[in-house]
Structure 1
């Protein structure tokens, strides 16, 4: 069977190379490297501007990864911005929320990473802590801290033991979104993994950055779920059933 095709959302930033400097869509190389190490084929998903585009994009994929990046705009979860919250990335917010909705509706396996976990929570009506300390190694430096799985969860089935993970974030999940459960915590109680309960497919998100470490198990779980979905009768791209997000 061909390797599952895993779409990864991208940053949208100015970039410079050679004699050129222009708006660009970017993805740290560590993301496709992790997808390849887990047995998948990585493709980039640059922002588009319609929900229809998100549905068509997801329908062509075996799995979706929502990558890390900028803070989610607080208006998305009904909050005023904290002075320590970064500038909004409105195009990414809209596009990635649409990708999440499309993946859940079509039952395409979904993995959120850092910002991707926060967006998953917001997509289901949850809120975020806009600032916390101690979850990075300083400006531009990844830190590390333990993560403890919640027994009986899908995450614990993939990573059953306590692990030290590479982390770089200053925001985190506050109130859980509807239908989501916490499946791992940091020692200070910060929610470190989320998953969707009572859902046919894999919907999992982690607050840390697995692409910056050596442990490929979280991404392997996504690739395995994508491969299993493709192997089902009538499986593969375009075969998902509709599951509506809460209004």
Structure 2
């Protein structure tokens, strides 16, 4: 059991970027508050994980994991050369690959958001389309720092359909997408233009990736709530083992 009270601890990976506040302009571990608010409003206690090499041991103290959005996954991870529009953070990749391996080993519930879904796919041997305008003519981002919306249709009987229904209008901001699917994953959501918008691993208790940004809609907490429920359920199963 990760914690000894009723709080369900949900780790969220963070950005390592230069940031400015007050008189400071320094490297920082960052996370948009929308993730914190989304997890908290869904009943979880968010725990922010700064990038620490490739050490995933912090996951021994939590009940679930969110792999947050951010920069592109380094194409070297799937044997490709970088596109001119690709901006990657290899150090973050290595940390989050380690987090994902440990989370799956511990059978922690995992939700990958945007980059997080792409990282999940690459970690399982898949590849990415590095720049959607080269293949479908447009990216799912109207402009810098501006979220677009798209409607996603979900596969009947999938975990994500059980959470969100047959379809949903979602907030998106991405120029990359899943190309070849990783081993063990299935596509469970697509946009009208064919872009993969949701994947999951049916062989695991809760491993879900979504290409959109659920944290941007504070009126719809269903994905975060599903993650928290899964984390609470895992704790209920693990607690007797820890007490023996």
Contact 1:121/1:177 (CA < 8 Å) preserved in 2?
yes
Post-superposition CA distance 1:30-56 (Å, at most 9, x none): 000000111100010011113xx20x1
Indicate the residue corresponding to 1:21 in structure 2. 25
- Determine whether 1:64 maps to 2:74: no
Post-superposition CA distance 1:166-193 (Å, at most 9, x none): 0000000000000000111101111101
Contact 1:137/1:144 (CA < 8 Å) preserved in 2?
no
Segment of structure 1 superposing worse, 167-176 or 125-134: 125-134
Per-residue deviation, 1:219: 0.9
Equivalent in 190, 198, 217 of residue 195 of structure 2: 190
What is the SS of the residue equivalent to 1:102?
Answer: helix
Indicate the residue corresponding to 2:114 in structure 1. 114
What is the TM-score with the length of structure 1 in the denominator?
0.91
- Determine whether 1:145 maps to 2:146: no
Q: How far apart are the structure 1 equivalents of 2:239 and 2:41?
A: 27
Equivalent in 25, 31, 38 of residue 34 of structure 1: 38
**Structure 2: segments with no counterpart, 5+ residues:** 133-137
Indicate the residue corresponding to 1:104 in structure 2. 104
Per-residue deviation, 1:20: 2.0
Per-residue deviation, 1:161: 2.5
Post-superposition CA distance 1:136-186 (Å, at most 9, x none): 121210000101011111111111121110000000000000000011110
What is the SS of the residue equivalent to 2:95?
Answer: helix
Contact 2:177/2:211 (CA < 8 Å) preserved in 1?
yes
**Structure 1: segments with no counterpart, 5+ residues:** 240-247
Contact 1:229/1:235 (CA < 8 Å) preserved in 2?
no
Indicate the residue corresponding to 1:49 in structure 2. 53
Indicate the residue corresponding to 1:226 in structure 2. 231
Aligned alpha-carbon RMSD (Å): 1.5
What is the SS of the residue equivalent to 1:232?
Answer: helix
Q: How far apart are the structure 1 equivalents of 2:120 and 2:213?
A: 16
Contact 1:180/1:196 (CA < 8 Å) preserved in 2?
yes
Return structure 1 stretches of 4+ with deviation > 3 angstroms: 233-236
Indicate the residue corresponding to 1:245 in structure 2. none
Post-superposition CA distance 1:49-69 (Å, at most 9, x none): 13xx20x11111100000000
Per-residue deviation, 1:233: 4.7
Post-superposition CA distance 1:79-105 (Å, at most 9, x none): 11111212x211111001111111111
Q: How far apart are the structure 2 equivalents of 1:174 and 1:8?
A: 25
What is the SS of the residue equivalent to 1:22?
Answer: strand
Contact 1:49/1:94 (CA < 8 Å) preserved in 2?
yes
User: Cα–Cα, structure 1 residues 107 and 17, in superposed 2: closer, same or farther, change >3 Å?
Assistant: same
User: Cα–Cα, structure 1 residues 233 and 14, in superposed 2: closer, same or farther, change >3 Å?
Assistant: closer
